[in-house]
Structure 1
C-alpha cells in the first residue's frame, strides 16, 4: 500500500524494494506499530482494498506533509480496482476518529499536483492547504 501511495497515478517511479529500502519512505511505516501510530486496513474477505496510516515524525526527520512534531502525517492508498467506491472516505473517516480518540489536535498530509480525486476527498473531510513544497501541497485537518 505504501508503494501504491507513492505511485498513485500508475507511474512506476519506484519499485517495492526501493520504497522499503529508502530511509525517507521507511520512516512512515518502519517498525510499525510504534506507540502513537494509527492505521486501518480495508479488506473484502482476504483481499486488501486500501490502507491508511498516520505517524508523528520529528522535525529532524520529517515526512512530506510535516507540520509539527505532535501532528501525525497521514499516508493512504486504495487499490486501483477499488477506487471511487467509498473505500478512501471510509478509511479517512476512521483514521480521523482514531486520531481524535487518542487526543491528537490535528493531522496532516501531502498531496501531489494532479491527484485531484485525493485532493477532493481531503477537502470533503475538512483538510485545508497550509503549505507548498515543489509540486505538492501540505494539508492540515484540525481535530
Structure 2
C-alpha cells in the first residue's frame, strides 16, 4: 500500500517549513489558533528553531507524492540555562513534531516520530524527550511509541523514550 508520503533528512533550507510545523504543533487545539509571528517569537517556541540548522540539530521532513512538505520532526540540544519545555538534561535532545492538518491521521506523525527516534539513536543519543499538553491527542501517539511521563506540569507533561 502506498502511504502517499516519503521521509527525507531536514536541511538548513527547511527552516521556514519547520517554522510552519512549529506553529501547527503549538496550535493543535481546535479554535486555539495563535498567529504565526506570535508563536515564532514567543520565548517558549523560538528556541526550537532559532539558528536552524546547528551542528547538533537533526530532523526529518515528510513530503507528499508531489514533493511538497507535509510534516516535520526535529530535535535540538538545549542548554541547562535556556531549557525547552521538555528539557530533561543537556545530553538529551528535545523533539518537536508538526503535521499539516490535511495530513493528520494518515501515519505521517508516527513515521516521522519513529524515524527521528532511530536517527537520534544513530547519532549516539540514548534518550529523547518532548513536552506535550495533557489534553493533546498526540499524547496517545507518544505513549504508543514508548514515551513515558517523567515530569508533570500544570497543563503539560515531559515525556522521555530510550532510542534503542
> Normalising to structure 1: TM-score of the pair?
0.93
Q: 1:80: which partner in 2?
A: 101
Question: Quick one: distance in 1 between partners of 2:153 and 2:81?
Answer: 17
Question: Quick one: distance in 1 between partners of 2:34 and 2:69?
Answer: 21
Q: How does 1:5-24 map to 2 (within 5 A)?
A: 5-24=25-44
Say whether the 8 Å CA contact 2:44–2:85 is kept in structure 1. Answer: no
Among 46, 62, 82, the alignment partner of 1:42 is: 62
Question: Quick one: distance in 2 between partners of 1:39 and 1:10?
Answer: 26
Deviation at 1:134, TM superposition (A): 1.5
CA deviation vs aligned residue, 1:88-140 (integer Å, no higher than 9, x gap) = 01000110111000000100001112113x11111121110000112011000
Question: Quick one: distance in 2 between partners of 1:4 and 1:36?
Answer: 23
CA deviation vs aligned residue, 1:5-45 (integer Å, no higher than 9, x gap) = 10012334521112222233111011111011111110112
Runs of 4+ aligned residues of structure 1 deviating over 6 Å after TM superposition are none
> Normalising to structure 2: TM-score of the pair?
0.82
Among 53, 68, 75, the alignment partner of 1:33 is: 53
Q: 2:116: which partner in 1?
A: 95
Q: How many equivalent pairs are there?
A: 142
Q: 1:138: which partner in 2?
A: 158
Q: 1:120: which partner in 2?
A: 140
Question: Quick one: distance in 2 between partners of 1:4 and 1:11?
Answer: 12
Q: Which runs of 5+ in 1 are unaligned?
A: none
